[in-house]
Amino acid sequence: MDSVRVGIGLYGACNNKNLNEISYLETTIAQKRSIKKGDAIGYSGKYIANKSMSTSIIPIGYADGLNRRLGNGAGCVLINNTLCPIIGDISMDSCIIDTSKVKCKEGDNVRIFSENNPVINLSEKLDTIPYEIYATLNRRIKRVYLN
């Protein structure tokens, strides 16, 4: 054959050392809060803080395509090169992350997936493929295409 269908490889969203992740999903910290040991977070209060911690609310949720199964510590986001777990249930338009181990402030960038937190990691946690992550991102997320 003299042709190849690149498919998802175009995004670098696969386990191949010769392909680089070229896309990222980014938001910002909307609010910072401190919580105490024993405080409940998220719908139904499923997450109970086992210590006092710093938390941040980010404006992305399941209506945007962030899978609810990434809540309650299953998924992480990247802030200032530090992985921060998503705690509590993911709601429609937001989620809460534990920012106790990173210096950050309201307005700081948060990467849901990127070269340092690849989309393939999210897809493996969800027992799916990277393309499903891309395909379920809602149209209300602004797309920016660079050369």
Report the SS3 class of residue 146. coil
93 close to 86: Cβ distance less than 8 angstroms: no
Whether the pLDDT of residue 20 is over 70: the answer is yes
pLDDT tier at 1 (50, 70, 90 boundaries)? low
> Whole-model pTM above 0.85?
yes
Exposure class string for 22-44: b at 16+ Cβ within 10 A, else e: ebbbbbebeeeeebeeeeebbee
Low-confidence winner among 3-7, 61-65, 101-105, 131-135 (lowest mean pLDDT) = 3-7
* Both structure tokens of 144: 């920016």
Q: How far apart are CA 56 and CA 98, in angstroms?
A: 7
Structural domains of the chain, with CATH: 24-135 (2.40.37.10)
